[in-house]
Structure 1
Amino acid sequence: MEIAIGLLTSGFQALTGTAATSTAAATAGAAATSGAAAAGSGFSLASLLEGTATVLGAVSAIGAGYADAEMMELQAEDAERQIPLETLQGISRRASIKRELAEAIGDQDTAYAASGVDLSFGTPRVAKKQAFREADYALTSDAGTQETRTARLSERASVFRGRARRARRGGFMDALGLAFSYGADRLERG
């Protein structure tokens, strides 16, 4: 840059004569001073490229944090969407248990009635009570299983949302670390 200014001023001097010499010298001196100031302040193409790389690295770290967070948010939404499905499956299982109970009682009543046994007392009544007891146990067990599964799905969604928050913070912390590292390097150089 200083050479280009020098060449321009010497060409300008040749055209205008010595009257422009003092102006050209002042201009060349100012250009040399600003070039020396830029070199003295540590500004160079290498530091510019390093700063640009640091900014790009910080943006990339933030982007990676957001990408990880988005993946975790999607997994949380998936877990939350499975809760109604689990509820429907539980209702279906309990309806199946009730259907099997009705069929079992109907089969027992038919068998005992065909044999001529009174269904209001004795063995048929005990068998019917036993069938109701087993169905009640199966229904209660299935309801507990459904509650456990839906609670686990809710907990899983909560865990994924927490991981998403940590991923976002981690991206920002990585970016901040890159910026501080760059600043420390610049301070060491002076």
Structure 2
Amino acid sequence: MELAVTAIGKVLGGLGLGSAAGAAAGTAATGAAAATGAAAASSGALTALQGLGSVLKVLGTIGAGAAAASESRQLAVEADLQAGQEQLAGQQRQNRIRQELGRVLGQNDVTYAAAGIDLSGGIAQSQAQTARQQAQTEISIDQRDTEFRRAMYRQRAIGYRQRASTQSGGALLGALGTAADFGIQLAGRGSA
């Protein structure tokens, strides 16, 4: 641009339009150079701001992904703890069933002994065997239910851990996408 204005000034000077035209051409050249410099500075500032915005967006995306992944990992730990608590609760329920069995057997023995019935056979032995079988059935059912609930908690923990991995990976991919978009915009600006 400066060269074009200078060339116009020389042509006008050669035609005899003199120094006024040359001065005007020089002033125009200086103004054009200043405008070009201001535009370049403005474009550079815009690029810097967009770069800063992209960096902040990348950091925000990674931070949000890390926070979500951390929350999912915490939920996985809680699910593992719940599986352990379920095992303890199952043990306690089974112990209560055994205690109740002991109480029932003792009460039956006292009742039959007070009535003068032989405890080693007959109805007393039959009822004691029935109470033991019933208690064993309840314990078996509770053990299966406890294992089922524990398996559900363990599966939930696995799901939370997989979700944490996905959230971390997704955040990194999102951040890379933001950086790539900025690079593409910058390259497009350079070729325009």
- How does the TM-score come out when normalised to structure 1? 0.75
Equivalent residue for 1:70? 70
Say whether 1:111 aligns with 2:108: no
Point out where structure 1 has 5 or more consecutive residues left out of the alignment. 1-31
Tell me, in whole angstroms, the C-alpha distance in 2 between the residues paired with 1:146 and 1:103: 24
Give, as a single letter, the amino acid of the residue that structure 1 aligns with 2:155.
Answer: E
Tell me, in whole angstroms, the C-alpha distance in 1 between the residues paired with 2:88 and 2:67: 33
Report deviation, 1:39: 6.1
Give, as a single letter, the amino acid of the residue that structure 1 aligns with 2:51.
Answer: G
Equivalent residue for 2:50? 50
Point out where structure 2 has 5 or more consecutive residues left out of the alignment. 1-31
Matched residues, number: 158
Which stretches of structure 1, 4 residues or longer, exceed 3 Å deviation after superposition? Answer: 35-40
1:65-124 per-residue CA deviation (whole Å, 9 max, x = no partner) reads 000011111111111122322222111111110000000011111111111112222222
- How does the TM-score come out when normalised to structure 2? 0.74
Report deviation, 1:125: 1.7
Give, as a single letter, the amino acid of the residue that structure 2 aligns with 1:166.
Answer: T
Report deviation, 1:177: 1.3
Tell me, in whole angstroms, the C-alpha distance in 1 between the residues paired with 2:172 and 2:162: 16
Report deviation, 1:37: 9.0
Say whether 1:138 aligns with 2:138: yes
Higher relative contact order (CA 8 A, sep 6+): 1
Query: Percent identity among equivalent residues?
Result: 32
SS of residue matched to 1:134: helix
